[in-house]
Structure 1
Amino acid sequence: MTDLAPLTMPASDADAATWTAWVGDRAESGLARAAELVDGLRSAPPQSALEVLRQWDAATLELGNVAAMGSLIGNVHPDEQVRTTAEKAEQDVSRVVTALSLDRDLFELFDALPSEGLDAQATRLLERVRRDFTRSGVDRDDATRARIAAINERLTELDQEFSKVIRDDVRTIRVAPERLDGLPADWLEAHPVADDGLVTVTTDYPDAIPTRMFAHDAGVRADMLDAYLNRGWPESDPILRELFDLRHELAGLVGFSDWAAYDAQVKMIGEGAAIPEFIERIATSAQAPMERDVAVVLARYRQDHPDAEEVPSADVPYYEELVRKEQLEVDSQKVRTYFAFDKVRAGLLEVTGRLFGLRYDEVVDAQAWHDDVTVYDVVDVESGAGLGRIYLDLHPREGKYKHAAQFTLTDGVAGQQLPEGVLTCNFSRGLMEHDHVVTLFHEFGHLVHHVLAGHGDWARFAGVATEWDFVEAPSQMLEEWAWDPEILRSFATDESGEPIPTELVEAMRRSDDFGKGYLARVQMFYASMSYWFHVDRPADLTATMVELQKRYSPWPYRDGTHMFAAFGHLGGYSSAYYTYMWSLVIAKDLFSAFDSADLFAPEVARRYRDKVLAPGGSADAADLVADFLGRPYTFDAYAEWLAS
């Protein structure tokens, strides 16, 4: 579909000065080219509306290139100087975008453009550009527009500060080795005893999750939970309160009652007030399943603590694991012996390649920011055409983004540039928990979406450019391929090469379904926090968090902890963390179109690729889903799954 060359970066072993220069040069040239294109629109705009839109979209692409690079390199490069330079590039783009959005001359140019003769995509673009200008406050007075510009600049800084606090605040506990009884042998081997006789355990995922699940010592579990939940505290508290206040002020300046109302206008949900209604709908649907499964965990806890009235939060993962092992016949330590990282990564590529008609050719000499990164060119099997490039950065290190996410490196536009995307995660280099395998499939779904949707004519609609409360749905649906017994047996083998038993996978699925009601309620706790923090802007974020946890979560608050302080979704997702559950409702409906007996059935897989993924943001998400399903999506499949 394109013979364009991928982006060339410095080598991983290049010094900080080389990387800093590369980031700076790419930012400078991209900003300069965008300015040239926009100046041309001001001074001598093309005669046709279509060419005006093309020139604006080209400027958008240049700015997007700089912003994407800044966001990615600012989160993954091992050198702090390089990260800081990248963060500045992202700030510079934000400043330019804000200035353009408040430029009345540009607004008047687009407002006066005739739509006659434009095709559907160009018309959609024109509508979106006009909406962007209106939402930016371009029609406000000079003083208001100046305040909006200042707020937007500060919001970018605050968002970066929040991310940096989370990224850099890796906490540790020091533990005597005998207190780590219960941890897997390979985990213990990877954590040697130091000269002082203690073992260091970090709050990074490969340490924190196994410790909370498997350590027999309740004190160790409690210490780890305290360390994990207090990441970012107290540094991020004033950052977040200022962030919420400025977002609220900005929304008011452009005519909205609050930030949630402003943010929801461009999402599937449509209105901010619909968010708490959705939260309550999910919470109500999950009430009975939650009570049923919480009772099981509490009963098991009472075997060891007969007088307990509830399960302490620090003990929940450990006792969940005991329930799964003793009652559901799933031993997570046995399960993980089938999921060696290298086999999982190879299996992921084989499964998704077969499903979507893709081939991943490793580029062994490709340059990237760290030796951990593996690089692949994505090829369409049927046509042999190159579709894009992906980068897998999957292990933790100092200074790196601490969660799991897909980052854009470049958006793909037909005839202009290839789509390139990056998966950044924090998985073990050895054996993986199956939950992490599911996470890897999920995040890879974003990567596939980004590449397949990178071959349209407009940068505005490239990649994962759908409404933000839909973007998780395709990835959530792809998780199903990490649960199919035959699919797992194709790559999940133990040290002797024996595939994972089908009956074990079936038991794992039953085990995974256990607790889905209370997990939904925990998600609604997070969603309500994200919403009410923005709408009410409480002076005491911890107190409001505690109140919302009591309302929605079955698990008690852990005294002295401040989970919100490292809840990174308060940055990018802002008031809209509900989107994960909203997307899951759609994902369950999307999956209903597949034959569970043949998840690789080519007709439905190709139709899904062409109708849902490849269009990117060129149509409303609801229309893409309806086109694939042959009907509008419904709540039914999700409700049936939750109640089962």
Structure 2
Amino acid sequence: MTDAQTPRTQPPIVLPPINLPEADRAREWVETRTREGLAAVRILADELRSAPPVEALAALRVWDEISLRLSNVMAVGSLWANVHPLEEVRTSCEHAQVVADRLATELRQDRNLYDVFAALDPSPLDVTAARLLDKTLEDFRRAGVDRDDRTRARLTEINERLTTLDQDFSRNIRDDVHTVRVAPERLAGMPLDWLDAHPADDEGLVTVTTDYPDSVPARMFVRDPGVRRDVTVAFLNRGWAQNEPLLTEMFALRHELADLVGYPDWASYDAAVKMIGTGPAIPEFIDRITAAAEAPMRRDLDVLLERYRQDVPGATAIDQADAGHYEELVRKEQLDVDAQQVRTYFDFAKVRQGLLDVTGRLFGLRWVPVHDTPVWHEDVTAYDVYDADAPAGEPARGRIYLDLHPREGKYKHAAQFTLADGVAGRQLCEGVLVCNFSRGLMEHDHVVTLFHEFGHLVHHVLAGRSAWTRFSGVATEWDFVEAPSQMLEEWAWDAEVLRSFATDAAGEPIPADLVARMRAADDFGKGYHARTQMFYAAMSYWFHTDRPADLTARMVELQAAYSPFPWIEGTHMFAGFGHLGGYSSAYYTYMWSLVISKDLFSAFDPDHLFAPEVARRYRDLVLTPGGSRDAADLVEAFLGRPYTFDAYAAWLTH
């Protein structure tokens, strides 16, 4: 049941967090947990087949227990396959994902189980349980339960191979860290703290990696264009060339799967359970954003090119190797924002604590450090989560882990991972934030990213008291899940919010007028950044529908059609574009969510961002329900009307 349905007169149920193992026992723990969890799933499924409950609610309870146990195996497998420092543990976790996915596919294709649910009488069910029954039957059908034995067997093969391909694709990106070694004098322009942390080696050279704490500042600040280009090319070629054949096979198998269950292509199959509804609506949305961004893109691109021509006379275009650097120069010289000055206010430790303070105040939560629990790496910190107004002795509503710095073998981007889905009275909600930030000073863009990703974690925790596993946490349609996180970014741009934790070495808070200039400077380039996103979205969509034989050639065509920046010869950025795995054909969702997030934020008063009434309504009506209602209904309940394109369009063209 949801928070609103839980009677406060009942004694609180204390749910313990997962008892994680010490590092030297991690592999054994994962293998035991996987074996026992999947064995329990098989027993429950056998009971459901042989003696199905007559009442719909009872049958759904058994199915939900199956879902919870599968989720527990998959969640740990997904997390540790990406972050555990021991390769043997990562490998065991990848295997756990494969066998769990195989069993999940087997269950969804089981005609006897489908018949159990298809025969149930839904009339006694409440709205949420009836929704669960509808979703369960839909899952069976999308898995091909109504196909013949041969087709179901082929679907099983496809699903298992797709799991392996996705793991290999992600692993190649994670492990393929490129380096550029340069003489120290060629790094002129880099921040002093970065240079201090990167001394020259025995050969007198400094190593710059393609990990974000190196590649982002190098591309922004280094004055030497040759170094910027070398770092950019190295970054754009992560995962090349081992990932192209994997992606080609992945796209073909996804298309075959969609065809076998009655869809014209993978994008149509994938979109059917999203807000957008249909595959052809995706390029229509991409083209709508492309058109809306045209004028602001041209306006700011002309400014960028004009500044570039001061150093490169006669230039007719600027590419990614130089765009970030010259964007920084425009902001510094014309908009009076120096990113190197800005970063002096964002010490990582202060930012992390500030984030907890801000989100605690906004959402009515307390984050209490946990010092006596095993973690998978010394960088990881744990917190128990309580309602701010919870009486003494009230149990935690969840536990979070923060794993925020890069290391060898770790996931290279930023994401929230589920450790445990929270289910009321049965299991504590646990989530993990995985990022790759500097241990010292942070660029403000990375502060914004931290707020964004933490938004997913807040959503996971607040929706972690669902009555059903299927609706727990960030379980809304996939093209909505980014909207709450994108909206939380707004708090990382507010002067008063930032001044509460952003202080320089002398303890002076960041000046309000500097924050105002930062916000104005951030608006510069939003048109061409939107067009860059549409290039990525178009690539995501057309790779799946066209399934080109030459991915690089098709990427170059799409870049010319959508991106403001021309292709850099010899680069293959798609090979390191990890979203082609998890988001598949639906990278448009970031922009779709941004449209909604701008509308959501319109309900807040920018001068009173912590106003309790609107914050509480947002928490209770949008975040806490998880996936128990359609996302469009959640948004309408909060705004009092359906969402529109208006707020986004006004922001983009401002």
TM-score interval, normalised by the smaller of the two chains = over 0.9
> Counterpart amino acid of 1:529?
M
Aligned twin of 1:57: 64
Aligned to 1:138: 145
* Distance in 2, Cα, partners of 1:461 & 1:478: 22
Instruction: Give the distance between the partners of 1:617 and 1:434, measured in 2 at CA.
Output: 32
In 1, Cα distance between equivalents of 2:597 and 2:203: 50
CA offsets 1:397-419 (integer angstroms, 9 cap, x no match): 00000000000000000000011
1:606 maps to: 616
Q: Choose from 352, 360, 363 the match for 1:356.
A: 363
- Give structure 1 regions of 4+ aligned residues with deviation exceeding 3 angstroms: none
Match of 1:252 among 241, 255, 259: 259
Does structure 2 conserve the Cα–Cα contact (< 8 Å) formed by 1:172 and 1:203?
yes
The 5 Å alignment of 1:11-410 reads: 11=22, 14-15=23-24, 18-384=25-391, 385=394, 386-410=396-420
For 1:334-363, what per-residue CA distance to the aligned partner results, in whole angstroms no more than 9, with x for missing partners?
000000000000000000000000000000
Structure 2 residue aligned with 1:528, among 532, 538, 551? 538
Question: What amino acid does structure 1 have at the position aligned with 2:86?
Answer: D
Q: Does the 8 A contact of 1:2 with 1:387 survive in 2?
A: no
Where does structure 2 lack aligned partners over 5 or more consecutive residues? 1-11
Deviation digits for residues 153-204 of structure 1 (CA, Å, limit 9, x no counterpart):
0000000000100000001000100000000000000001000010111000
Deviations 1:414-434, CA, capped at 9 Å, x for gaps: 000011000000000000000
Equivalent in the alignment of 1:3:
14
Listed one character per residue, the Cα deviations across residues 493-524 of structure 1 (whole Å, up to 9, x for unaligned) are 00000000000000000010100000000000
Aligned amino acid, residue 5 of structure 1: P
Q: Is the 8 A contact 2:364 2:388 kept in 1?
A: yes
Query: Could you tell me how far apart the structure 2 residues matched to 1:595 and 1:30 are?
Result: 48
Alignment of 1:453-468 (within 5 A): 453-468=463-478
Structure 1 residue identity aligned to 2:522: D
1:2-22 C-alpha deviation (Å, 9 max, x unpaired): 4100001113xx32xx11001
Instruction: Write the distance in 2 (CA, Å) between the matches of 1:85 and 1:104.
Output: 31
Corresponding residue to 2:566 among 539, 552, 556: 556
| Residue in structure 1 matching 2:456, options 415, 424, 446 | 446
Q: Distance in 2 between matches of 1:619 and 1:318?
A: 44
Cα shift readout 1:185-230 (whole Å, capped 9, x = no counterpart): 0000000100001011100000000000000100000000110000
Q: 1:436 aligns with which of 446, 450, 462?
A: 446
Query: Equivalents in 2 of 1:277, 1:225: separation in Å?
Result: 31
| Deviation, structure 1 residue 36 | 1.4
Identity %: 69
| Distance in 2 separating the partners of 1:90 and 1:248 | 22
- Aligned-residue offset at 1:48: 1.2
> 1:197 and 1:427 mapped to 2: Cα distance?
26
User: Quick one: distance in 2 between partners of 1:479 and 1:371?
Assistant: 28
Deviation at 1:28, TM superposition (A): 1.1
State how far apart, in whole Å, the 2-side matches of 1:366 and 1:442 are.
Answer: 26
Q: State the partner residue of 1:417.
A: 427
Picking from 472, 486, 490, the partner of 2:496 is: 486
CA distance in 1, matches of 2:539, 2:13: 45
Looking at structure 2, the residues matched to 3 and 481 of structure 1 have their Cα atoms a distance apart, in angstroms, of: 33
Q: Distance in 1 between matches of 2:194 and 2:501?
A: 22
Please report how far the alpha carbon of residue 274 of structure 1 lies from its aligned counterpart in structure 2 after TM superposition. Answer: 0.1
Q: Distance in 2 between matches of 1:365 and 1:279?
A: 49
Residue identity matched to 1:291: R
Letter in 2 for 1:190: A
- Aligned counterparts of 2:512 and 2:373: Cα–Cα separation in 1: 38
CA distance in 2 between partners of 1:641 and 1:621 (Å): 22
Tell me which residue corresponds to 1:615: 625
2:7 aligns with none
Q: How far is 1:46 from its partner? A: 1.8
Q: How far, CA to CA, are the matches of 2:272 and 2:317 in structure 1?
A: 41
Letter in 1 for 2:218: T
Instruction: Say which SS state the counterpart of residue 543 (structure 1) adopts.
Output: helix
CA distance in 2, matches of 1:299, 1:606: 47
CA contact (8 A) 1:293 1:518 kept: yes
**CA separation in 2, counterparts of 1:541 and 1:82?**
33
| Offset, 1:101 | 0.9
How far apart are 1:26 and its partner, in Å?
1.0
Look up the SS of the partner of 1:231 in the other structure.
Answer: coil
Residue by residue over 1:267-322, the C-alpha shift from the partner in whole angstroms, topping out at 9 and shown as x without a partner, is 00000000000000000000000000000000000111121111132111110000
Matching residue of 1:540: 550
SS of 2:610 mapped into structure 1: coil
Deviation at 1:383, TM superposition (A): 2.1
What's the RMSD between the two structures over aligned residues? 0.6
Q: Deviations over 1:363-418 (max 9, x none)?
A: 01121100000000000011244110000000000000000000000000000001
> Contact 1:101 / 1:133 at 8 angstroms: preserved in 2?
yes
How far, CA to CA, are the matches of 1:217 and 1:241 in structure 2?
37
Partner SS, residue 201 of structure 1? strand
Q: 2:531, 2:564 within 8 Å by CA — same for their partners in 1?
A: yes
Q: Distance in 1 between matches of 2:312 and 2:379?
A: 45
Cα distance in 1 between the residues matched to 2:444 and 2:518: 9
User: How many Å separate the matches in 2 of 1:617 and 1:173?
Assistant: 45
Select 2:481's aligned residue among 467, 471, 475.
471
- For 1:294, the aligned partner's letter is L
Which AA in structure 1 matches 2:454?
Answer: F
Establish whether residue 594 from structure 1 lines up as the match of residue 601 from structure 2.
no
Cα offset, 1:47, TM superposition: 2.5
What is the alpha-carbon distance in structure 2 between the residues aligned to residue 102 and residue 417 of structure 1?
A: 27
Letter in 2 for 1:80: E
C-alpha distance in structure 1 between counterparts of 2:476 and 2:649, whole Å: 24
Deviation at 1:88, TM superposition (A): 0.4
**How many residues in Structure 1 have an aligned counterpart in Structure 2?**
640
Q: C-alpha distance in 2, partners of 1:456/1:67?
A: 19
Q: Are the aligned partners of 1:2 and 1:418 in contact in 2 as well (CA < 8 Å)?
A: no
For 2:564 and 2:472, the matched residues in 1 are separated by 41
**3-state SS of the aligned residue for 1:359?**
strand
Partner secondary structure for residue 368 of structure 1: coil
SS of match in other structure, 1:391: strand
Paired residues of 2:54 and 2:120 also in contact (CA < 8 A):
no
**Whole-angstrom CA distance in 2 between matches of 1:422 and 1:473:** 19
Give the TM-score, by structure 1 length: 0.99
Residue pair 2:72, 2:420 contacting (<8 A) in 1 also: yes
Q: 1:628 aligns with which of 635, 638, 642?
A: 638
Moved more, 43-52 or 79-88: 43-52
Distance in 2 of aligned mates of 1:358 and 1:102: 42
Which is further off, 303-312 or 634-643?
303-312
